[in-house]
């Protein structure tokens, strides 16, 4: 691997981004250090997907946008992703700028923070410095992580103090708009001991967008905390998206992750959770639908460190046209994580002769006293199943729909947000009928 | 439709993977009639059932099939069903993630047509009633279609679909195989309850046992891919008592299977 020692981006651009957001000095230093690293580091190595010719560097890294006075000025196809009733907690970012924020006085009073990262870094510096690109994602992991650290803009911190329970889900919307933009959304979620919350993050773009999206999602769950978190991605066909997500789970904490990779374009999606605290349990539900010439590489990982940790990965991919996906599931149990139990199942359904899918279950176990199990399958719709359904009067189309929604059902039916389930259903319907 | 249903099969020849199985079957089934097709293994009974419904692996090479005067062989599988043909299958498919009740409601509505869908309340009531009649636990409504069902549960589920869809011509393919006597009685009661001029039955079976509970009007014997003998219920009784050898002897048949070279 040859090392490119030239800067990928000008230090001045990075400095401008930082200064325009009035960031503390430590953050600018962190950005500049990462920028230097980005030139030296290689791209991440992905199982069975070549990404060396994907566009990760050609774009306009900063595009500022005007704040919105009301959320109703968003175009309907973007607006539909959030509910903004008076009591809702909402954050909207367009390209590089946070443009709308809404949090009830009640939650502010309880110490809940739900704001952009620059503001958070000014007002709660220690908190952000402790968690931003440290124990979650390391800026030096690979070139894309370093680039994200150097160029991120806007971004969001959700902080829920000890024993505070928030009923309504926090909603975040990241919108890539216009040609030639690079978007670097960053979501940082910190739940203290015994806190209880849920958050849905939507990543969308204009239909004709050619955005390069390099996002990061870092989650820290304190002891006995509970979090349901969902990340829904519906970028257009010409986009390229990289999304790295890391979660660190405390003792007896409970995590429920839903990832909907429903982009139209190239997608790298990596969701890794460290089950640090003993007695914690976690679930990852991942769903992807590919169409056209789309390529995607989707990895769900649970890393067991604590004893009595329990995890479950359920992943489903539906591939249309000439789309290809690699669906990886990794359950890694460290020595000492006794009584851990990790199970996973990845399945791909191919709806056309040109579609391709790969389901890779990987169990890495360094401890004897554990349980683990996996299942994987890749297949086409069974013509005998179709015959059976059609023999009861269902049209070919109806029968196909039933089989497909039955196939994604184990993921879809367990998503803890009704609205999200409906939206995912709509997106799948849209992909199937186009 | 107010007319009495009529399924007419003329000189039907069917191949599977280039191998000719049915070599010219002729049969007419009308509403109110129960026809039983009996015969040793491998004589083409199930092939007849699958070909009538349009199974993708079976190729009709010659002959005609009409339902109420319309050409069945021209129709897609779903169209055959909507016109009133029903096949209770020997090995029903398992469909993961689709509940029994969602599937059944889709099927009922497909038959009723757009704009004429059954209300959910009415559907549930009707399904509850039929499930009760078949001694099916109510949990079956929310279980995934045939997934993890025992052999007997699958058969009962086929009969539930039969009762809900009220076809004009019902073909039951070895619905009695593998059923214990109680389940057999339940299935038989289901069929007897539908015995009326609006439905004709073609019951394919290995055994006389089911026919002890459902008395057929006509009994046909298949050998070498054809119907070689027809009669009334007494024919089934004699087959049960004496086996098939006397038929073979009478007709001068040595190898009764369909795959033998003619």
CA A139 to chain centroid, in Å, comes to: 17
Q: Do B82 and A393 touch (CB under 8 A)?
A: yes
Instruction: Give pLDDT, residue A4.
Output: 46
CA-wise closest residue to A213 among A153, A300, A258: A153
Please name the residue ranges forming H helices in B29-175: 45-53, 77-82, 100-112, 120-133, 151-165
From A388, A402, A408, residue closest to B92, measured CB to CB:
A388
Q: Do A392 and B97 touch (CB under 8 A)?
A: no
B128-152 pLDDT per residue, tens: 999 999 999 999 999 999 999 999 8
Residues of chain A with C-beta less than 8 angstroms from the C-beta of B161:
392
* Distance separating the N- and C-terminal Cα atoms of chain A: 42
* Distance separating the N- and C-terminal Cα atoms of chain B: 43
Among all chains, which residue has been given the structure tokens 């809940």?
Answer: A112
- The three-state DSSP-derived secondary structure of A203-259 is EEECCCCCCEEEEEEEEEECCCCEEEEEEEEECCCCCEEEEEEEEEECCCCEEEEEE
Instruction: Give pLDDT, residue A410.
Output: 84
In a domain, A105, yes or no: yes
Give the Cα separation of A198 and A169 in Å (integer): 5
Instruction: Give pLDDT, residue B157.
Output: 96
Phi, psi of A161 (to 5 degrees): -70, 170
Name the E strands within A250-309.
254-261, 266-275, 281-290, 295-304
Give the Cα separation of A332 and A326 in Å (integer): 19
Q: Do B95 and A394 touch (CB under 8 A)?
A: no
CA-wise closest residue to B14 among B3, B25, B26, B28: B25
Q: DSSP string spanning A20-57? A: HTT--HHHHHHHHHHHHHHHHSPPPP-TT---TTS-SS
Among all chains, which residue has been given the structure tokens 């060396």?
Answer: A52
Q: DSSP string spanning A345-405? A: EEEEEE-STT-EEEEEEEEEE--SS-EEEEEEEEEEPPHHHHHHHHTTT--HHHHHHHHHH
* Chain A (393-432) residues lying within 8 Å, Cβ to Cβ, of chain B: 393-396, 398-399, 402-403, 405-410, 413
CATH 3.20.20.210 fits domain B6-94+167-185+194-251: no
Among all chains, which residue has been given the structure tokens 């109110």?
Answer: B32
- CATH 3.40.50.300 positions along chain B are 6-94+167-185+194-251
Provide the residue-wise pLDDT of chain A in tens; the chain has 434 residues: 334 445 678 899 999 999 999 999 999 999 999 999 999 999 999 988 999 999 999 999 999 999 999 999 999 989 989 988 889 999 999 999 999 999 999 999 999 999 999 999 999 999 999 999 999 999 999 999 999 999 999 999 999 999 999 999 999 999 999 999 999 999 999 999 999 999 999 999 999 999 999 999 999 999 999 999 999 999 999 999 999 999 999 999 999 999 999 999 999 999 999 999 999 999 999 999 999 999 999 999 999 999 999 999 999 999 999 999 999 999 999 999 999 999 999 999 999 999 999 999 999 999 999 999 999 999 999 999 999 999 999 999 999 999 999 999 889 888 888 888 898 999 999 988 87
- What is the share, in percent, of chain B residues with pLDDT greater than 90? 87
User: A193 is written with which tokens?
Assistant: 């001991």
Q: Do A394 and B110 touch (CB under 8 A)?
A: yes
In a domain, A374, yes or no: no
Instruction: Give pLDDT, residue A312.
Output: 98
Instruction: Give pLDDT, residue B180.
Output: 87
Q: Do B97 and A385 touch (CB under 8 A)?
A: no
Give the Cα separation of A102 and B115 in Å (integer): 43
User: What residues contact residue A34 under an 8 Å CB cut-off, 6+ apart?
Assistant: A133, A139, A140, A146, A147, A149, A150
Among all chains, which residue has been given the structure tokens 């440290």?
Answer: A134
From B54, B81, B102, residue closest to A392, measured CB to CB:
B81
Beta carbon pairs, A and B, within 8 Å:
81
- Phi-psi label, residue B123: left if phi above 0, alpha if psi -120 to 50, beta otherwise: alpha
Domain membership of residue A55 as a residue range: 11-277
Q: Do B86 and A391 touch (CB under 8 A)?
A: yes
What is the domain count for chain A?
1
Q: Which of B55, B56, B97, B108 to mutate to test the interface with A (most CBs of A within 10 A)?
A: B97
Radius of gyration of chain A (CA): 21
Residue A329, H or E segment: strand A324-333
- Rounded (5°) CA angle A309-A311-A315: 170
Give the Cα separation of A296 and A50 in Å (integer): 10
Residue A206, burial from CB neighbour count under 10 angstroms (0-12, 13-18, 19+): buried
Q: Supply the pTM of this predicted model.
A: 0.87
Q: Do B78 and A382 touch (CB under 8 A)?
A: no
B171-224 pLDDT per residue, tens: 999 998 888 898 899 989 999 999 999 999 999 998 888 999 999 999 999 999
Give the Cα separation of A313 and A174 in Å (integer): 26
* Chain A (167-186) residues lying within 8 Å, Cβ to Cβ, of chain B: none
Q: Do A394 and B106 touch (CB under 8 A)?
A: yes
User: Residues B208, B237: contact at Cβ < 8 Å?
Assistant: yes
User: Residues B69, B1: contact at Cβ < 8 Å?
Assistant: no
Instruction: Give pLDDT, residue A3.
Output: 41
Instruction: List the beta bridge partners of residue A313.
Output: A284, A344
Residue A91, H or E segment: strand A89-94
In a domain, A314, yes or no: no
CA-wise closest residue to A38 among A14, A21, A64: A14
User: Residues B88, B159: contact at Cβ < 8 Å?
Assistant: yes
Instruction: Give pLDDT, residue A415.
Output: 86
Instruction: List the beta bridge partners of residue B10.
Output: B64
Among all chains, which residue has been given the structure tokens 């599931």?
Answer: A329
Give the Cα separation of A406 and A261 in Å (integer): 18
pLDDT band with cut points at 50, 70 and 90 for residue B31: very high
Question: Average model confidence (pLDDT) for chain B?
Answer: 94
User: Residues B190, B162: contact at Cβ < 8 Å?
Assistant: yes
Per DSSP, the three-state class of A61 is: coil
B59-104 pLDDT per residue, tens: 999 999 999 999 999 999 999 999 999 999 999 999 999 999 999 9
């Amino acid at each position: 691997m040859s090392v490119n020692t030239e800067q990928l981006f000008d230090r001045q651009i990075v400095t401008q981004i930082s200064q325009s957001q009035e960031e503390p000095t430590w953050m600018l230093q962190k950005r500049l250090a990462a920028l230097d690293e980005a030139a030296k580091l290689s791209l991440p190595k992905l199982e069975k997907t070549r990404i060396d010719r994907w566009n990760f560097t050609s774009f306009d890294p900063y595009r500022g946008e005007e704040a919105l006075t009301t959320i109703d000025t968003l175009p309907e196809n973007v607006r539909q992703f959030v509910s903004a009733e008076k009591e809702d907690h909402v954050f909207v970012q367009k390209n590089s700028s946070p443009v709308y924020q809404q949090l009830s006085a009640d939650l502010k009073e309880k110490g809940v923070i739900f704001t952009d990262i620059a503001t958070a870094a000014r007002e709660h510096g220690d908190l952000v410095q402790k968690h931003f690109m440290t124990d979650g994602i390391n800026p030096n992991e690979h070139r894309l992580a370093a680039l994200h650290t150097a160029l991120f803009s806007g971004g969001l911190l959700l902080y829920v103090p000890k024993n505070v329970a928030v009923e309504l889900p926090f909603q975040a919307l990241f919108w890539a708009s216009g040609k030639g933009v690079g978007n670097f959304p960053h979501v940082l979620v910190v739940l203290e001991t015994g806190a209880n919350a849920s958050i849905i993050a939507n990543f969308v773009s204009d239909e004709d967008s050619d955005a390069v999206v390099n996002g990061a999602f870092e989650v820290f769950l304190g002891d006995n905390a509970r979090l349901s978190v969902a990340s829904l991605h519906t970028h257009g066909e010409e986009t390229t998206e990289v999304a790295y997500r890391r979660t660190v789970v405390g003792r007896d904490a409970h995590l429920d992750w839903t990832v909907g990779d429903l982009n139209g374009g190239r997608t790298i999606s990596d969701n890794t959770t460290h089950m640090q605290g003993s007695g914690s349990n976690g679930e990852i539900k991942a769903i992807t639908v590919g169409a056209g010439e789309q390529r995607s590489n989707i990895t769900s990982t649970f890393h067991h460190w604590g004893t009595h940790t329990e995890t479950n990965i359920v992943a489903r991919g539906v591939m249309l046209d000439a789309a290809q996906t690699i669906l990886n599931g990794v359950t890694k149990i460290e020595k000492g994580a006794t009584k851990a139990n990790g199970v996973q199942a990845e399945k791909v359904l191919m709806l056309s002769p040109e579609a391709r899918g790969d389901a890779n279950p990987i169990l890495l176990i360094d401890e004897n006293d554990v349980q683990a199990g996996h299942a994987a399958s890749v297949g086409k719709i069974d013509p005998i199943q179709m015959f059976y359904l059609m023999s009861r009067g269902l049209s070919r189309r109806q029968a196909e729909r039933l089989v497909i929604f039955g196939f994604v059902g184990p993921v879809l039916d367990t998503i803890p947000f009704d609205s999200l389930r409906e939206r995912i259903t709509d997106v799948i319907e849209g992909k199937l009928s186009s | 439709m107010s007319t009495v249903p009529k399924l007419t099969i003329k000189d039907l020849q069917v191949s599977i993977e280039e191998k000719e199985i049915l070599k010219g079957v002729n049969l007419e089934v009308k509403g109110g009639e129960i026809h039983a097709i009996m015969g040793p293994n491998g004589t083409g009974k199930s092939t007849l059932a699958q070909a009538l419904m349009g199974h993708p692996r079976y190729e009709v090479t010659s002959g005609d099939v009409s339902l109420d005067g319309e050409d069945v062989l021209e129709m897609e599988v779903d169209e055959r069903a909507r016109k009133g043909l029903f096949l209770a299958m020997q090995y029903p498919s398992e469909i993961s993630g689709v509940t029994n009740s969602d599937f059944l409601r889709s099927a009922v509505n497909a038959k009723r047509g757009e704009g004429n869908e059954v209300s959910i309340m009415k559907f549930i009531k009707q399904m509850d009633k039929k499930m009760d009649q078949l001694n099916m636990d109510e949990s079956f409504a929310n279980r995934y279609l045939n997934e993890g069902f025992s052999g007997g549960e699958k058969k009962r589920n086929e009969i539930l679909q039969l009762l809900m869809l009220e076809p004009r011509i019902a073909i039951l393919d070895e619905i009695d195989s593998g059923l214990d006597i109680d389940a057999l009685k339940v299935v038989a009661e289901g069929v007897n309850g539908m015995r009326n001029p609006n439905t004709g039955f073609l019951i394919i079976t290995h055994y006389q046992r089911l026919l002890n509970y459902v008395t057929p009007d006509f009994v046909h014997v298949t050998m070498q891919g054809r119907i070689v003998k027809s009669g009334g219920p007494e024919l089934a009784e004699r087959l049960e008592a004496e086996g098939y050898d006397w038929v073979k002897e009478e007709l001068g048949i040595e190898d009764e299977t369909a795959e033998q070279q003619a």
